[in-house]
Chains A and B, each alone.
Chain A
Amino acid sequence: MSGIVIDHNKCIKCLACIKACPFNALSLENDKIEVNAACRLCKVCIGVCPTQAISLQDVIKKVIDKNLYQGILVYVEHTDGNIHPVTYELIGKALELAKKIDQQVYCLFIGENIKEKANVLLEYGVAKVLVYDHLDLRYFRVDNYANVFESAIKKLMPNTVLVGATTTGRSLAPRVAVRFKTGLTADTTILQMRENTDLVQIRPAFGGNIMAQILTTKTRPQFATVRYKVMDAPQKVTNVTGSIEIGVVNESMLKSKIELLEVKRKEATFEISEAEVIVVAGNGVKDEKGLKLVSELAELLDGVVGMTRPMIEKGTGSYLQQIGLSGRSVKPKLIITCGVSGAIQFVAGMDKSDTIIAINSDPNAPIFKTAHYAVVSDLYEVLPLLIKQIKGEIINEL
């Protein structure tokens, strides 16, 4: 029974709780204090009881033995065996969390013809990579993958399961978590491990206006999907000690009800608001040479080129590249503005970006109020040097 529980051995029937209850949810029945359906779990009674006879019983009846669940399992995100970088970030975080509770990190790798690739994961200090390799697992089909995932969890009994908060990860993780009737926290950005093996999961809500700290204290494993480009990828280890284990794929796991008719690699369509990295050319970019520097930097950072409205009006770029009130609103992880003064119409379309770096030769440029990093330099001077360093053409010594 969950809710307010009264220990009749401790109760001295002082009736303080009955008087204090704002909902008339307590009464003396057959010489015992009883709780009725009016209880709203406000816990006022717990505070007034002089003998601590009243408690809030754990809401989930079966409190599991947490010691039965050991290790942190990382789901390997990949396409055709090409491991998605979020995986390494998860491994990095998992190693850190596991160290805190003296446990190990495992990887779950589901796909086709991936055994060789699994070795790469061991180089990062993973204790075990559990590989499920089958022709029918070549493509992500959430029902088949969930079946395999379930089998892997039953085999490993991990304390924590981390999945990248990607399109596929956020489709797969909820199905598996529901099977184990356990907690799943979506799109976490901060993870910490407590000594009692409870995972502290922190995530943004309401469009990032608040952060929620969430715990899964009564069930295991604790599932979290984790945002990409938030955690740190680990260094490779010098001596590899982990091992590959091959998981058994049964036909019963492969009865997908999703019929794949065609799978093709995504076309690179240009949508600037989807870009994670944007390098913006503003009025300070005066010629082809300047534009080339901006493009080159964007390319080196796996980003795209954005422009301010005056640049588009001059015919320098496509309106698809225009950022600001009359163009696109963007919220990339990184935006670098080059020669942008920072008109309010522009700023309104990009000020939610995670990291804003502004390069402008005017130390009083308004854009520096919006920027996190203000680089007071001429873009024609600083960009060539920066590009050379990224390319490794000059060694960076400060």
Chain B
Amino acid sequence: MKIIVCIKQVPDTQKVKVDDKTGVLIRDGIDTKMNPFDLYALETAMKIKEQINAEITVITMGPPSAKEVIKEAYALGADSGYLLTDRKFAGADVLATSFTLAQGITAIGGYDLIICGKQTTDGDTAQVGPAIAEHLAIPHVSWVVKIKDVCDKSITFMEDMLDDIAIAKMNYPCLITVDKDVFQPRLPSYRLKQQAETKTINILTLEDLAQKDSEHYGLSGSPTQVEKIFEPTSEHEVERFEQDDKNNAKLLYQKLKELKYVKELS
């Protein structure tokens, strides 16, 4: 079977600041790494491959330097990797990103199962995976917490459904997003890491995709616009309750009510 794992290169730190004057994001250093949640997606693919004959392809969208994240995936055991990179892909939101990835996945050729991490650590949306499935008109299930069974026709798994846990089955082609409980990710192998350096990284640009109209990609294809970014006001002032115990208890009760942790008794 053919498994596609969607991965993303993210900054190695969440320590970011906003330049007051320009409103531009300043990242502390330029170290990048694979989105930690993608490690679980890749591990799921590897575990499936241990059970049945499977070929694992990773795909990512990003700048040319995002090749590094594909090398990381190679060091973990991915068989082939594709980088979607084009200036026209820049500035993409959930809709345009998922569209581009769906186009890329189609361009690679056939697939049975697509696996995504539950979310990224830079965007935190958790919404690109389901959106890819919609573009591809295939079913998806998010927040898969356990793989129960896998064969060459279908996958059976446990999913988190708010208050319930469900066991469900989907035939291929389909997409799942996996939560971090699904498997413990392995460490990169030294041997694979060595090989990764020389392994081919396939590049896809707009020219390689079926939909060639640039209006669908990047900023043009994004219905949402970031109007501004700012640092949250760190209003860390300590409010002190220093009355007698009785009044402190009252003040605390009022505060919990205000914060909606206790209900108004009527």
Contacts and interface: CB of A to CB of B under 8 A. Distances in A.
Interface stretch (A44-52, A117-125, A162-170): A162-170
Contact of B238 (A185, A258, A264, A374): A374
A260 B168 CA distance: 4
Given A142-B141, A178-B131, A259-B170, A266 B239 contact: no
A363 interface: yes
Contacts of B222: 59, 183
A186 B126 contact: yes
Interface string A151-188: 00000000000000011101111110111011111110
Contacts, number: 272
Nearest to A383: B249
A262 B162 contact: no
B169 interface: yes
Contact of A258 (B11, B134, B141): B141
Given A139-B161, A259-B169, A396-B250, A207 B14 contact: yes
Contacts of A139: 161, 164, 166
A386 B226 contact: no
Contact of B223 (A82, A166, A219): A219
Contacts of B229: 205, 210-213
Contacts of B238: 368-369, 371-374
Interface in B114-165: 121-131, 133-135, 138-143, 156, 160-165
Contacts of A258: 139, 141, 168-170
A256 B139 contact: yes
B52 interface: no
B228 interface: yes
A41 B214 CA distance: 14
Nearest to B228: A213
Contacts of B220: 2-3, 59-60
A168 B170 contact: no
For chain A, what secondary structure do more than half of its interface residues adopt (helix, strand, loop), or is it mixed?
mixed
A267 B127 CA distance: 26
Nearest to A369: B238
B21 interface: no
A205 B133 contact: no
Contact-residue size bin, chain B (C-beta under 8 Å from the other chain): 35 or more
B16 A209 contact: yes
A299 B140 CA distance: 37
A386 B224 CA distance: 46
Contacts of B171: 257
For chain B, what secondary structure do more than half of its interface residues adopt (helix, strand, loop), or is it mixed?
mixed
Contacts of A210: 16-18, 25, 229-232
Interface in A350-375: 355, 357, 359, 363, 368-369, 371-375
Most buried by A among B163, B220, B224, B247: B224
Interface string B201-235: 00000000000000100011111111111111000
B241 A214 contact: no
B225 A209 contact: no
A217 B93 CA distance: 14
A398 B251 CA distance: 8
Contacts of A328: none
B250 A170 contact: no
B260 A229 contact: yes
B61 to A, nearest CB: 16
Contacts of A205: 122-124, 229
Given A168-B161, A174-B130, A373 B239 contact: yes
A262 B166 contact: yes
A382 B232 contact: no
A334 interface: yes
Contact of B249 (A175, A181, A214, A385): A385
A325 to B, nearest CB: 19
B174 interface: yes
B240 A171 contact: no
A207 B160 contact: no
A315 B219 CA distance: 57
Contacts of B133: 175
A196 B70 CA distance: 44
Contacts of B134: 146, 174-175, 178-179
B94 to A, nearest CB: 5
A209 B130 contact: no
Most buried by A among B14, B167, B229, B256: B256
B9 interface: no
A334 B251 CA distance: 16
B167 to A, nearest CB: 4
A5 to B, nearest CB: 13
9 contacts: A82-B163, A185-B224, A187-B126, A205-B123, A212-B226, A213-B226, A373-B252, A374-B239, A377-B248
* Top 6 A-B residue pairs of the complex, sorted by shortest distance between their CB atoms: A385-B249, A186-B125, A183-B223, A183-B224, A171-B142, A207-B14
Interface of B: 11, 14-18, 25, 87, 93-95, 98, 121-131, 133-135, 138-143, 156, 160-171, 174, 215, 219-232, 236, 238-242, 245-256, 259-262, 265
